[in-house]
Amino acid sequence: MIPVIVDARGHRCPVPSLRLRKALETAPAGVVVVLLADDPMARIDVPHLLGSGPHRLAAVEEADGALRFSVETGGPQD
C-alpha cells in the first residue's frame, strides 16, 4: 500500500500533530501515515499523541533538517 504523506514542514506546534491526527482518523487500518515536520517539538508531541490510541510509531528519521515519522495505523478507536 502507498503511504499517506502529511507534510507539516514550516508549521509549529500544535499544527503537525493536529494534521497527523486528522490523517489517522481517516486512514484505514494497516496503512502507513508519514508525517514530515521540522518543528523540534514534534519529537515530543507525536509519541504523546500516539500513546493513547491503536496506532504505532514504526520509525523516526531525521534528514535535511526535517523529521519523518512513520506511523502504522491500527483499528478504530473505541
Asked, for residue 25, whether it belongs to a domain, the answer is: yes
Q: Residue 34's domain spans which residues?
A: 8-54+61-72
> Structurally, how many domains does the chain consist of?
1
Q: Answer yes or no: is 1 within a domain.
A: no
Task: Examine residue 22 and state whether it is found in any structural domain, yes or no.
Answer: yes
Asked if the structure places residue 2 within a domain, the reply is no
Q: Is residue 46 part of a domain?
A: yes
Q: Are 71 and 57 in contact (CB under 8 A)?
A: yes
Q: What is the CATH number of the domain that holds 35?
A: 3.30.110.40
Tell me the C-alpha distance between 16 and 28, whole Å: 20
Q: What is the pLDDT of residues 30-40, one digit of tens each?
A: 999 999 999 99
8-54 tens-digit pLDDT? 999 999 999 999 999 999 999 999 999 999 999 999 999 999 997 89
Contacts (Cβ under 8 Å, ≥6 apart) of 7: 36
pTM of the model: 0.92
